[in-house]
Chain A
Amino acid sequence: MPKDKPWIFRTYSGHSTPEASNTLYRTNLAKGQTGLSVAFDLPTQTGFDSDAPEARGEVGKVGVPIGHLGDMRALFDQIPIEKMNTSMTINATAPWLLALYVALAEERGVSPRVLQGTTQNDVLKEFLARGTYVAPPAASVRLTVDVVTYTVEHVPDWNPMNVCSYHLQEAGATPVQELAYSLANAIQVLDATRARLGAGADLTSVFARLSFFVNAGIRFVDEVCKMRAFGRLWERLGRERYGVTDEKALRFRYGVQVNSLGLTERQPENNIVRIVLESLGVTLSKNARCRALQLPAWNEALGLPRPWDQQWSLRIQQVLAYETDLLEHEDLFEGSLVVEKRVAELCAEAWAEVEEVLRRGGALAAIESGYVKSKLVESNATRIAAIERGEQIVVGVNKFGETAESPLTKGTDGGIMVVDPALAARQIERLEQHRKARSQGAVDAALAELRRVLASGENVMPASIAAAKAGVTTGEWGKALRDVVGDYRAPTGLAGASVASARGNTQDAARLEALRARVRGLAAKLGRPAKLLVGKPGLDGHSNGAEQIALKARDVGFEVVYDGIRSTPESLVASALEEGVHLVGLSILSGSHLELVPEILERMTKAGLGDVPVVVGGIIPDADAKTLLARGVRRVYTPKDFELEAIMADLVDVLAGQQP
């Protein structure tokens, strides 16, 4: 039989500046990559300009900054967008980034009708994980639907929304939860689209264009089953809820990034093996094979990957697709009783949870009430507790920890990429030049129209494309959205989550009790219960670590203040002061620690809080950790510190050593 066509090979990438990212893309395409996957930096994802106060330390860190049409031109310089399949990981500002892409195409004389690619555009999951939302949930769904209905009509080969189960797994979701909550999010958007189009509208073309972005973890047999379950449930949903009958439209289409949550900082070379096995979960079963695959780099838990690290991940895909016989066979699992049984089980449990969410008024209501988030926080706490207790083995971390010295991390760069801080300044300079060069009258008119449309409820896309052409910036688009639709903070889910640790065996219980006794002992020394502020400064919304620390700290007897994501240095210092905390713990995963932490320390000293110890957790390279410690940070925790109770014991040590 003829060989199956391989999936699209992607590498999630982008950093520093549009020019640097453009060079990277062209190099990757020359190496045999077949699609682009654009990573945007956090200011771009949350609708801020590079020179906004909120963007401090974040410009070009986790992706490329795109501030205006000029940046988009530079990003795709010499890349034929009419032939590209471009995936953009963009959510709250998806209408805007798509508008810039369409404006670029029209400028080049390319009809938007031929554009192919994906906007992630799944804002609902941002309220549960990742955190790059801007507007409140209901308004966010409206913008999502704007992109869906616009592209179905004007950019017909575009995937307007990638319903993400990826980030749910990263936030701790079990396979059942991953299935259930991503489907519930899709239902919310499909229902809203149906309402927009009017009763009786044929949803086939919309249903056919929705794709998924899925995670694949290390339990790859279960992942094969999960992917088969996904296909089955999606088809059922299409037939039963939306009356879709076209077989092709009912097909479950998905792209994958394999799991980053399970990648370890200790013995990081083992991650390559994990990535290979995780790839099998989404490629083995022909009937449930991914359409596109992007693999993380082996050193993600250490810092930003270098071009060579990304190349290694691309080569994994190429070996799998071109060297092995994987693509020569029909589906390997058809008729397997074992697989069928597990798939049926996953389908039944996931469907029951979908119905539970619908009973609670649908995904929107279940997110606003904190129900879904609490479930995820709970699952993640259970997962972490199992690793701490050694019930879930992580090789090189809680078992087989002995290791020879790795030559991979011995280079002068410490085995990671370091972004030149001068590049952020250059990006800001470019932005200032752009502002000077444009016609202010045209910008004002475009923004006025954008505001009018945002308020009236009309589709925001045409006004956004016009604004892109007029030279409006990302920050201006974001400000219009915030001003007209409003800002939002999602529930942290912590209040509703119960902690699993109490279920441990007697040995664990005794250890926990001993820790609680030490925390109580602190209260006697401090005069009141030890109070901890857990803060997430910057735009980074990956809150798992902060949430788990906050939960565990409460569990051992701390009074914990946690204000959720996206705090400014000013607001964190105000919290520390007003709340009278004894200790401040900061969590930063975006790489902006060297900018944000010293600023917070300075502001604390100014506020008379110089004697309150500060600890920092995150993806922090060794060299940076030394810098932070030298600046007065008391402890730095990285992913290799996975035992929460050990961290708690360490925090008690820090406080016990404080002068009263």
Chain B
Amino acid sequence: MQRLEALLEGLRARDRGSVARALNLLEDRRPAQREAQRALVRASAAMARGRVFGVTGPPGAGKSTLCSALVRAFRASGRRVGVVAVDPSSVNSGGALLGDRLRILTHEGPGGVDEGVFVRSLAAGGALGGLSRTAPACVDLLAAAFDVVLVETVGVGQSEVDVARVADLTLVAVQPASGDALQFLKAGILEIPDVLVVTKADLGDPARRAVGDLRHALAVAREAGVDRGAADAVSVCAVSSETGEGIADLVATLDRRWDALEEGDGLAIRRFHGGVALAFETVARRVGELGVDALGGEATVRARLRGLVAMELPSMEAAETIVDEAVAALRTLTP
């Protein structure tokens, strides 16, 4: 317990070593750690929260270089940046290759290490490529310790949807002349992005065309009433991570959008819905389809989770409360 106190103290002081150990603890799956994990989650929820930006998009769209460019831009303005990078796990072994992307490119400080940047890579649990089980809690913890948190995902399967649930704003990277823009529009995934970022703007015409295509398609969607309303309108930016072109504008757009959300309670509403959705998915994963039915069906479970999350319970804890009830009920069936 004394160790936990010291850890919480270190976390409040934003000490790098304490942040690292706190993340290790959050990733720990042993039931014995649950109490300590709850304490951590509560402690980070009580701290000022940094801005969380999700970065997703198809493989090869330039997410990693975009993240590096964003890290540099945020650092240039003196903001401390945490990064959660999610990589897929191997279906066969459960192993994963992580990282290999960001740490390198800041070059500040002795030995190329910038103490204002902190990168934790997580393996996505399961083959579908969603966020790892512990990613939301890790993101919240980093958000307590850093001014800005970037959450980079593999951009396939479930992860795009998941990232929008943990991030305040979500960027979707789109590569020009790749068919990405078209695919994106066909799929009609408009609930995910807040900002569409056309990468590789240094390509010139193809990038300009991609921006035009996206704007046109968004206008069509608005007319068709698929849009989420003015406050949620999708911004379109073009950047070159290589030359730095457009990065400052992107940062300004992100900050402006974030401030607007914050002002109008939008952020709280988003976090609430995101939290409920994540909690429901956790419950569903743990108890399965039959379990959800036994608990009264999806609508009932969601309503209960809404109640719990509304009581300021972190989503992880809300989910656990329901799962614990289900487990207790199952235990009574044991012959």
Contact = CB atoms under 8 A, between A and B. Distances in A.
Interface of A: 53, 369, 487, 489, 492, 494-495, 502, 516, 519-520, 523, 527-529, 550-551, 553-564, 568-571, 574-575, 577-580, 607-608
Contact of A559 (B29, B30, B98, B109): B98
B177 to A, nearest CB: 12
B126 interface: no
A560 B103 contact: no
Q: Is the interface of B mostly helix, strand, loop or mixed?
A: mixed
Interface stretch (B111-119, B259-267, B292-300): B111-119
Given A554-B90, A556-B93, A574 B113 contact: yes
Interface in B34-70: 60
Contact of A528 (B17, B29, B99, B119): B29
B226 interface: no
B97 interface: yes
A580 B23 contact: yes
B33 interface: yes
Given A577-B20, A579-B120, A527 B27 contact: yes
A43 B95 CA distance: 36
Sorted from nearest, which 4 A-B pairs have the closest CB atoms?
A570-B111, A527-B28, A568-B111, A554-B95
A580 B111 contact: no
12 contacts: A53-B110, A369-B60, A492-B100, A527-B28, A528-B27, A556-B95, A568-B111, A571-B112, A575-B119, A580-B23, A580-B27, A580-B120
Contacts of A529: 94-96, 123
Contacts of B96: 529, 554, 559-560
A489 B64 CA distance: 12
Contact of B100 (A494, A556, A607): A494
Interface core residue of A492, A495, A550, A579 (most chain B CB under 10 Å): A579
Interface centre among B33, B95, B104, B120 (most CB of A within 10 A): B95
B253 interface: no
A575 B92 CA distance: 26
A369 B99 CA distance: 17
Contact of A561 (B98, B110, B118): B98
Interface string B69-104: 000000000000000000000101111111110011
B97 A560 contact: yes
B139 to A, nearest CB: 15
Contacts of A489: 104-105
Contacts of B112: 568, 570-571
Contact of A575 (B24, B30, B103): B103
A53 B112 CA distance: 10
A519 B21 CA distance: 22
Given A527-B29, A560-B97, A580-B24, A487 B107 contact: yes
B304 interface: no
B99 A527 contact: no
B93 A554 contact: yes
A555 B93 contact: yes
Contacts of B235: none
Contacts of B20: 577-578, 580
Contacts of A369: 60
B204 to A, nearest CB: 15
B104 to A, nearest CB: 5
Interface in B249-299: none
A280 B306 CA distance: 77
B217 to A, nearest CB: 27
A577 to B, nearest CB: 5
Nearest to B25: A527
A569 B100 contact: no
Interface centre among B33, B103, B121 (most CB of A within 10 A): B103
A561 B29 contact: no
B100 A564 contact: yes
Given A554-B93, A558-B95, A574 B123 contact: no
A562 B28 contact: no
A557 B111 contact: no
B52 to A, nearest CB: 18
B302 interface: no
B105 to A, nearest CB: 8
Contacts of A579: 98-99, 119-121
B16 interface: yes
B98 to A, nearest CB: 5
A559 B92 contact: no
A495 B123 contact: no
Given A551-B97, A554-B97, 11 more contacts: A492-B100, A516-B93, A529-B96, A555-B93, A555-B95, A560-B98, A577-B17, A577-B20, A578-B16, A578-B120, A579-B121
B99 A575 contact: yes
Contact of B93 (A550, A557, A569): A557
Given A528-B29, A580-B27, A571 B103 contact: yes
A570 B110 contact: yes
Given A559-B98, A580-B20, A571 B27 contact: no
A527 B94 CA distance: 15
A597 to B, nearest CB: 15
A53 B104 CA distance: 16
A556 B92 CA distance: 9
Most buried by B among A495, A561, A570, A578: A578
A521 to B, nearest CB: 12
A520 B16 contact: no
Contacts of A53: 110-111
A563 B100 contact: yes
A366 B60 CA distance: 13
B84 to A, nearest CB: 11
Interface string B149-162: 00000000000000
B28 to A, nearest CB: 4
Contacts of B113: 568, 570-571, 574
B312 to A, nearest CB: 27
Given A53-B111, A561-B121, A527 B95 contact: no
B28 A528 contact: yes
A550 B99 CA distance: 12
A453 to B, nearest CB: 20
B200 to A, nearest CB: 12
A635 to B, nearest CB: 20
Contacts of B90: 554-555
A568 B28 CA distance: 29
A564 B98 CA distance: 11
Contacts of B93: 516, 519, 554-557
A249 to B, nearest CB: 37
A564 B107 CA distance: 15
Nearest to A370: B60
B176 to A, nearest CB: 15
B155 to A, nearest CB: 13
Given A489-B104, A607-B17, A563 B99 contact: yes
Contacts of A527: 27-30, 33
Contacts of A570: 109-113
Contacts of A487: 107
A516 B99 CA distance: 22
B216 to A, nearest CB: 28
A574 B100 contact: no
